[in-house]
């Protein structure tokens, strides 16, 4: 195939991806966070209902994560995984993507308001 064709294909894929990354998200964001451990729902928190900051420790077979739940936001404060990606991802919902700690199979997702 001509190089030009490939460049066009890549440009199209690039455009589509940029659109999905940068698209404005309509409506009020959901404020219910769901914490999944090993694919199972471990806890669901309505961040609007949180009064006091709370630490929630998830002890899995592979390691532990300390999740900090504050009024209106949630993050992983501490983890004993090597890459620390889940800690660096910062706060939900500001981050805009699920917080994932893949070595420990932990996932924090913002859900729709309905349970």
Nearest of 91, 106, 101 to residue 31 by alpha carbon: 91
Task: Report, in Å, the least distance between residue 80 CB and another protein.
Answer: 12
Indicate whether 1 belongs to the interface with another protein (CB under 8 A): yes
Measure CA of the first residue to CA of the last residue in the chain; give whole Å: 50
User: Do 63 and 72 contact (CB within 8 A), yes or no?
Assistant: no
User: Do 92 and 110 contact (CB within 8 A), yes or no?
Assistant: yes
* Binding region for another protein (CB under 8 A) out of 25-33, 50-58, 67-75, 79-87: 79-87
Count of residues of this chain found to bind another protein when the rule CB under 8 A is applied: 29
Indicate whether 103 belongs to the interface with another protein (CB under 8 A): yes
Considering beta carbons, is residue 57 or 88 the nearer one to another protein?
A: 88
Binding footprint of another protein on the chain (CB under 8 A):
1, 3, 6, 10, 13-14, 16-18, 20-21, 36, 38-39, 62, 82-83, 85, 88-90, 97-98, 100, 102-103, 105, 107, 109
């Amino acid at each position: 195939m001509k190089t030009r064709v490939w460049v066009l294909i890549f440009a199209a894929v690039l455009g589509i991806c940029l659109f999905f990354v940068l698209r404005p998200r309509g409506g009020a964001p959901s404020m219910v966070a769901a914490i999944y451990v090993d694919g199972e729902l471990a806890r669901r928190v309505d961040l609007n209902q949180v009064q006091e900051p709370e630490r929630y420790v998830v002890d899995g077979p592979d390691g532990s994560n300390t999740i900090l739940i504050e009024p209106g936001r949630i993050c992983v404060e501490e983890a004993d995984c090597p890459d620390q990606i889940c800690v660096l991802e910062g706060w939900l919902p500001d981050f805009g993507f699920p917080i994932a700690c893949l070595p420990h199979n932990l996932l924090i997702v913002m859900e729709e308001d309905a349970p």
